[in-house]
Amino acid sequence: MPPVRGKPKLMTGPMTGAFGADDVVVSGAVIRKLRFQMIADTFEPGSRETRRIRNTTEFRVHGLDCAEEVLLIRKQLNREQGIHELNFDVVRGKMVVDFDPSRVNADHIQKSVSSTGLKCEPWSDDAERAQTFLERHGRVILASISGAATLGAMIYRGITSGDLVSALLAHEHAGHEMDVPVVVLCLIAIAAGSWFILPKALHSWERLQPDMNALVVISLLGAAYLGEWVEGATLAFLFALATLLETYSLARARNAVTALMEFAPGEASVIHHDHEHRVPVANLKPGAVVRVRPGERIPCDGKVVSGSSGVNQAMITGEALPVRMATGDTVYAGTMNGDGLLDVRSTRAASDTTLARIVRMVEGVQHRRAPSEQFVEKFSRYYTPAVLMLALLVAITPPLLMGKQWGDWFYQGMVILLISCPCALVISTPVSILAALASAARQGVVVKGGAFLEEAARLRAVAFDKTGVLTTGEPAVRDLIPLNGFAHEDVLARLAALELRSQHPMARAVARYAKEQGVTPAAVDSYQSIQGKGAEGSFAGELFWVGSLRLMTEKGLDTSEVTARLTGSPDTSIVACGTDRQAWAVLSVTDTARPEAREAVAALRTQGIESVTMLTGDNRAAAERIAREVGVDSFLAELLPEDKATAVARLKQTHGTVAMVGDGVNDAQAMAASTLGVAMASSGMDVVMETADVVLISGSLSKLAFLLRHARRTAGVIRQNIAIALVLKLASLVAAVFGVATLWMAVAADMGSTLLVTFNGLRLLRAKL
């Protein structure tokens, strides 16, 4: 472990650092517009204020696998009134439409998309299981027929001509003398290979927007016109085979995510009085008690009501070692029970378990397009028309200006048409991102979109909250000193009543201390949390507060006696309590650094992180002790939530990209001000899944370095894919311009590059720890 770089600095100075144009401030909270979708009120001239009604519906679009289909659907639906936003997942064939149901309905949207020639239907996770035999296996059957017919034509042609290679490579374009059996076999191969693409091609010509399918059909007709029957058959077979392999590879990327749900068992043993009965997990209701035997997977999220066992939570947290669970502990659906018998009370429905929500988040990442995806989509808009124009020039310029043969250059023009589709470019990024996010989720790191994964790859600074993030989050009360003659038990009774209602680690420490002392909480009439400072409540009509010295000062009370009583422990966290008239007591609370914190901070530096900062609302002495132990570069103490957000904004000004690592609750403002919000799921699993861009399910800081490595590896694979697609396209174009390319070479280059980038992206399914 590398040594600490000197003593951590205390950052001082006024909390300036303005927020950007994309930031808004609502009740003191900084919320980035792009991170939180806000439904705003709209105003129409001459009408009363009305709230915009928005509805979101998911559709399955069959054949949605390339940029042309996305652009086509966008153009079609942009004509419709009431469509607010469109998002596409080309890997899964999903379209998500945000619309105003008072102006347009889902049925109309479905019909509008279907009018383009693409089959559109409401999204259903069970749709694939409901497919017919032809829908499931039709591509395999037709590709096999096309391949067999092509092979038969080649063998027959080779036997009759005596020189198969010369017969295939010669392009006389005056019509080869083909035997009837060869022509028949080639026609069968062309028909079978183009069966699925012909309807799409016809629709594209109806729209006067030729796509890859139309270009292939043109090339097939051109090959038949020139008498290149065997080459036309080869073209049809290669295209059918490449499409089949592409469908398989995309299905593998999809299944990497949906397979996570298969770890949850289909049935559960529910305890009913003195017997058990098996019920489908989908019908399991919160409150039901299920019995989990050794070696079985836990069917639901819940709490252990009896028994003890080691539970392997690798599917949720990424940690391979089993965790000992006993009465009162929380367990998750899909985790593996070890050597003991557990009775678990379900706390969530099957559709709302932690595992189900992780899968939904990862499945929805394509709705948040990464910058590289946006670049590729913009590039493809200009690339295809430009190459179409080049194909026309290649076909007509040499014959018109240089007296070349029309047949030769018409053929080369068709080759360029086949090269013009940017499918490899379009598919290169989403398949890589989906594979990367699926493998990260299996390691207990949930990233909520490709955009956030790319942000993680560019991080230059990291800011940490202290309590519960760099520390264990389980502080202990070292001392409670009553003031002004108040009794120890009376003070603790009121403290327990307030702190039992809070989720802050300090509050849990006080509540735990009261329980250990055998003190019963007093009856509290009201409770109010004071953000970043403490809490207060009413006892028999008297307001009683608990919180930091800052809160005590705001109450107008003198803190000198409190600080004097705790001079012997300057590095502890100080909690005071009392009424508006006088202080009742002061507590010293200590927290210890996480065992992995120092190593995690050092690992971040090896990943190129320039600055590691700790932000805390605790006192300076306690903050300095933890900062020194974990080895951060600098720290800020005694901060309110809005001060943390301002500090993060200042770090962004200095370093450009900053991650804020917090608990997802008290640090929501700082996370919103950061480039990337990372939450530890060790406290408040429900909340962190909604507030952060990245969730560390295991609650281990060691996963941060993995996140950076994984994100940078993903960015590297995406760059490789884009380079592969562009280089192969360029090489094919050069060969076509010089007249040495053939139709089957063009298909091999185009579909070969698509398959190359797809399988290269699928390498990310294997995460490198």
As a whole number of angstroms, the distance between CA 647 and CA 231 comes to 66
CA atoms of 21 and 321, how far apart (whole Å): 47
Which own/partner pairs from 327-330 qualify as long-range (CB within 8 Å, at least 24 positions apart)? Answer: 328/303, 328/304, 329/303, 329/304, 330/301, 330/302, 330/303, 330/304
**CA–CA separation, 704 and 63 (whole Å):** 38
Distance CA 528, CA 704 (A): 35
Give me the residues paired with residue 528 across strands.
Answer: 536
Residue 480, beta-bridge partner list: 587
User: How many whole angstroms separate alpha carbon 452 and alpha carbon 458?
Assistant: 10
Read off the tokens for 410: 């018409």
Q: Which residue from 453, 438, 440 is spatially nearest to 92, judged by alpha carbons?
A: 438
3-state DSSP percent of the chain in helix, strand and coil, to 5: 50, 20, 30
Contacts of residue 610, Cβ cutoff 8 Å, sequence gap at least 6: 460, 461, 655
**For residue 399, how far is the Cα from the chain centroid?**
53
Number of other CB atoms surrounding residue 523 within 10 Å: 10
Q: For residue 234, with 0-12 CB atoms within 10 Å meaning exposed, 13-18 middle and 19 or more buried, which class applies?
A: buried
> Which positions ≥6 away from 404 have C-beta within 8 Å?
398
676-680 vs 658-662, strand pairing mode: parallel
Residue written as tokens 């709490």?
A: 303
* Tokens at 713, concatenated: 């590896």
Nearest-10 Cα torsion for 639, 588, 620, 606 = -90
Helix (H) or strand (E) holding 109: helix 106-114
Q: Helix 229-258 to helix 212-225 angle, to the nearest 10 degrees?
A: 160
Beta strand pairing call for 330-331 and 302-307: antiparallel
How far are the Cα atoms of 65, 457, 522, 540 from residue 519, in angstroms, in the given order?
65, 51, 9, 19
Unique residue bearing structure tokens 């599917």: 315
Residue that has been written with the tokens 């089959």 in this structure: 119
Cβ-based neighbours of 296, under 8 Å, separated by 6 or more: 265, 336, 337
Chain centre to alpha carbon of residue 539? 47
Quote the DSSP letter at residue 764. Answer: G
Catalytic-labelled residue, pool 65, 211, 301, 465: 465
- Please state whether beta strands 50-51 and 55-62 pair in parallel, antiparallel, or not at all (unpaired): unpaired
Q: What residues have CB less than 8 Å from 391, skipping those under 6 apart?
A: 413, 414, 416, 417, 420
| 465 is a catalytic site residue | yes
Measured CA to CA in angstroms, residue 453 lies from 366, 449, 748 at distances of 12, 7, 32
Q: Which residues are catalytic?
A: 465
